[in-house]
A and B are shown apart, each in its own frame.
Chain A
């Protein structure tokens, strides 16, 4: 990395709440505004010194286009501060951070407000293309006769809209749903249903045990119509192997092993981080919690997108990023238990590392003891655009709590990519 590195000054997030639940009335813009205002209040900085606002969001609302700009203005950040919304599917939250890092390295700014937002509750319903062209036809028709003609073109299937979420979670290049890619990995690496369920159960247990720790990174969310939301509502204190075992596979009903219980939860959420160059930290007397020491994105086979982290780590090794053995703490996103376990298996598999990653030495062991110590997306939820930023925030707060130094945050990306960020506590 260049000499100008990115420091994370402070970060906060809203509680992650189940889609259709407590925060479902808030739009992505509302969520983002709440979290950015909370961060500005907590840091006390004058928003006029921010160089740019960069927010990740996967399902950008049609009525809030360039969501980052909407959030920036609504949060009271002055008009002169530009804003952009970035998209790298599940790594959009990473992307916001690394774009800021690149700008800082290139001397194009010193202080950035970054993060990610997703309202999975408010993802719109889409009419099929066939219907929209018929609506267009109808709108163009001027006479009664042509209007009637246009109306008779509609067929019943034109009126069955599809949630954009479902479309977003399906890879249009390989035609597979995200859940199906996880089923594929379970088969490739021979990961049993029980192992997946155990992993899921541990995620819930760890999240429940860490409620107090997670409170530090969470600010209370308010919706005028109901009680304030203080904490994530995904973790289930009453989860058990029996309960998880009773669930039916959802992506491959007959032979599959991936269930709603061992997949990440669909939630609403927002994360904001204030990041700055070292110079800016000194100039404005900011006391950062950590810094970004390296990052890597890598592509892989879309059908096996879940292995993305392994590819990103391999790329990191070539760049000289810390080895797994040097890492104190890992945040490995749990899109699916099968997928996270497959990544762990792949990293220590000589065959995989050699054949697929072209490495002579294996990547190494990801010790389950240090992976997702406060639970992962299976318990906390996966508001896609926001997750990357949450991993970074959680990792740094945990490093501090443990007085440790180096952390890795990594996730898989729909469409066949992996992202990894290496962080160090200041």
Chain B
């Protein structure tokens, strides 16, 4: 038989090896064909009484088994899904019931369905490589483990450990995996195969007794678990609770009943809107890995060194991230003190990472060694990429870029990390502005996955290709934007933050304003976010944006007054809230602000507030499409979720708008425009869609949008 998923080898010592490998070299995932081949292989093993042991390994150099194939899974109708679930459950159960010893040698990520397969084996040996993560992340996609994971994991490691693992949905790194008992042992990558072979003759694993699985204790754990899950998800994410129910049902009952409940739970979730939104976001992330690159120009040399200029918060963060992805960095700043501060930031980020087991202490030091700090201007050579991250002042940036331009070889791309200034405006200082593009990293760099890649009017497509490739290589996700005020994320976010400040001025309690948005699903309320960003930075961006887009609402005088009063948000100890040094303490609204600024006494309802803040965001998001800042509603939704944490379970602002209906949204906006202010006036594009009963995501929208074809034209120039 010519297998496409599992290669079978029979050894003379009466053992069998399954090698998970695809002829096309792509990542191993579980699909119909995988299950077919596995089922067929099981037929042979069940019939052969001579075989004593089975070793399952991966032929892929990096990945063991990445889980179910979500692309096909998400397209299945409910009946097909039910069948696939049952097929998987039955097949894995057959694996677990084999008379012979079964061992998994896990060399790389083993997640979801992949880990459920591993759970059905007797022994699991894991490579110590920090990338070899295991776990059941289904709940983070709004699903639950549907191939016996809910049944087997508590039986392997006990309920008290299984519940947080299942409900949290986070992949577990090797050291923790062995501590939790999710794998039997970790060994170095090189000795993985041999260690697994040695386990082959240790016999079948016997069931373990876990005290926490006994009726009384487990009820207590489930009760407490439920409480903490509800606290964590604020009731927005149904999957962890559903998983908890399935575990509750599964732990006390027999296999077939448990499997049935698991299937039911899965199917119920799969139908929910939250899940389809979370899957939508999952696919948006996958899509962002392969941003279609513009054509034209001749390819630049591949990047093997990065100059980061300016060792402030962003420069330091970028240097740390790039260096820890294995690329040498020259971090330069003319001020030795600033450079020293930047290096300490890098150092403490690396120390944190090594403390949390993300990096070994050795690779943390190697990352530090990859950074060369310099207080002078040093030669730039072919194969370098220059990222400028100095202060956000156009004059300073222009001077620097002009200098960089004259002393870099022609095929070195230069990127500016700006959040508010125009690329084209900066480029005028350069002899060769076509080599300048934007790389807008978000703060803090090590936590924010999104990078906006900015295409200036003169930017060479080859430079954009090089920047997109670079972003991908350092494990970030890109959105390609046109050079326009605020690019994508800040363009949409700033009006929202300004609206929150206006609501404050109207007389609303800051906690109520924030609650309106956290209740909607934002990770943090807008005023808290302003405090985190810093009122000076936010004020600067808002002013710059208002200057370039006069139509926007002016930032209220309050922001300026706060700035002048040294009330800069969290970093200065007070902003809209007071931050005590005590980290545990609750934050209280800053009453001092009342002295700074007269405010009205009008109180709005929570729903009115969230409505207003959402509508200004939506309007701006629609304008981004109207003006061709980005190509597709997918870019907007991905950018907002990845760049700001915009409620992921709602699938992004445009998908959310679609779900409400554009007609009602437009009406809502017009009402506010009439009663409050013209900033709520819906943009033409939104009105057009609403009138024609279309949605952002409808197929026809995509083809009728005149500006998005402009955008395509521009990119292919």
B337 A41 Cβ-Cβ under 8 A: no
Asked whether B608 is an interface residue with its Cβ less than 8 Å from the other chain, the reply is: no
Contact in complex: A76, B373 (CB < 8 Å): no
One of A118-126, A218-226, A331-339 at the interface: A218-226
Contact with A222, one of B373, B376, B378 (Cβ below 8 angstroms): B373
B374 close to A224 (CB less than 8 A)? no
Q: Is the interface of A mostly helix, strand, loop or mixed?
A: loop
Classify chain A's interface size: 20 to 34
Name the residue on A nearest B365 (C-beta).
A74
A44 close to B381 (CB less than 8 A): yes
Q: Report which residue of A76, A224, A227, A230 has the largest number of chain B beta carbons within 10 angstroms of its beta carbon.
A: A224
- Please, what's the 1-or-0 string for B307-346, where 1 marks a CB less than 8 Å from any CB in chain A? 0000000000000000000001010000011011001100
Tell whether, in the assembled complex, residue A44 and residue B380 are in contact, meaning their CB atoms are under 8 Å apart. yes
Chain B: which residue is nearest A73 at the CB level?
B369
| B380 and A220 form a contact (CB under 8 A) | no
Known A-B contacts A38-B372, A38-B374, A220-B373; A43 and B379 likewise in contact (beta carbons under 8 Å): yes
Secondary structure dominating the interface of B: mixed
Question: B374, A41: Cβ atoms under 8 Å?
Answer: yes
Q: How far is the CA of A38 from the CA of B336 in the complex (A)?
A: 14
B379 touches A222 (CB 8 A): no
| Across-interface contacts of A41 in B (CB, < 8 A) | 330, 372, 374, 378
- State A74–B340 Cα separation when bound (angstroms): 20
A224 touches B330 (CB 8 A): no
A104 at the A/B interface (Cβ < 8 Å)?
A: no
Q: B220 interface residue, CB < 8 Å from A?
A: no
Tell me which residues across on chain B come within 8 A of A161, comparing CB atoms: none
CB distance from B333 to the nearest CB of A (A): 10
Q: List residues of chain B with CB within 8 A of the CB of A46.
A: 381
| Centre residue among A33, A76, A227, A228 by max chain B CB count within 10 A | A228
A46 CA to B304 CA in the complex, in Å?
11
Is there a chain A Cβ closer than 8 Å to B375's Cβ? yes
Q: Is B226 an interface residue (CB 8 A)?
A: no
Contact A37-B381, Cβ < 8 Å, known A220-B336, A220-B339, A222-B340: no
How would residues 35 to 64 of chain A score, 1 for a CB under 8 Å from any chain B CB and 0 otherwise?
A: 001101111101000000000000000000
With CB as the reference atom, state the residue of chain A lying closest to B376: A42
A75 at the interface (CB under 8 A from B): yes
Contact partners of A33 in chain B: CB under 8 A: 369
**How far does the alpha carbon of A46 sit from the alpha carbon of B373 in the complex, in Å?**
17
Please indicate the chain A residues that have their CB under 8 angstroms from the CB of B381 in the complex: 44, 46
Distance of A225 Cα from B351 Cα, bound (Å): 13
Q: Please tell me if the beta carbons of A228 and B336 are within 8 angstroms of each other in the complex.
A: yes
Residues in B with CB closer than 8 Å to A224 are: 343-344, 347-348
Number of interface residues of B (CB under 8 A): 22
A38 to B373, CA, bound (A): 8
A74-103 to B contact mask, C-beta < 8 Å, 1/0: 111000000000000000000000000000
Q: For chains A and B in complex, what number of residue pairs have CB atoms within 8 angstroms?
A: 48
Query: Is A227 a contact of B374 with CB atoms below 8 Å?
Result: no
347-403 of chain B: CB within 8 A of chain A: 347-348, 366, 369-370, 372-376, 378-381
- Asked whether, in the complex, the Cβ of A76 is within 8 Å of the Cβ of B369, the reply is yes
Chain B: minimal CB distance from A285 (Å) = 11
Q: What residues of chain B lie closer than 8 Å to A42, measured between beta carbons?
A: 374, 376, 378-379
Q: Give the chain A neighbours of B378 by CB distance below 8 A.
A: 41-42, 44
A227 contact from B328, B337, B366, B372, Cβ within 8 A: B337
Residues from chain B with a CB closer than 8 A to the CB of A230 are 336
Q: How far is the CA of A337 from the CA of B136 in the complex (A)?
A: 73
Q: Which residue of B lies closest to A225 (CB)?
A: B344
A74 touching B369 by the CB < 8 A rule? yes
Query: 1/0 per position for A8-26, CB-CB distance to B under 8 A?
Result: 0000000000000000000
A161 to B72, CA, bound (A): 71
**Distance of A94 from chain B, by nearest CB (Å):** 27
Query: Are B339 and A76 in contact, with the CB atoms below 8 A?
Result: no
Give the chain A neighbours of B339 by CB distance below 8 A: 220, 222, 228
Q: How far is the CA of A273 from the CA of B347 in the complex (A)?
A: 28
- Nearest residue (CB) in A for B372 is A37
Q: In chain B, what residue has the closest Cβ to A33?
A: B369
A125 to B375, CA, bound (A): 36
* Between-chain CB contacts (< 8 Å), 8 pairs: A38-B372, A41-B330, A41-B378, A75-B369, A76-B370, A220-B339, A220-B375, A227-B337
Besides A41-B374, A44-B381, A76-B328, 11 other CB < 8 A contacts? A33-B369, A42-B378, A44-B380, A76-B369, A219-B374, A220-B373, A222-B339, A222-B340, A222-B343, A224-B348, A228-B336
Q: A-B pairs with the 5 shortest C-beta distances?
A: A44-B379, A228-B336, A224-B347, A37-B372, A228-B340
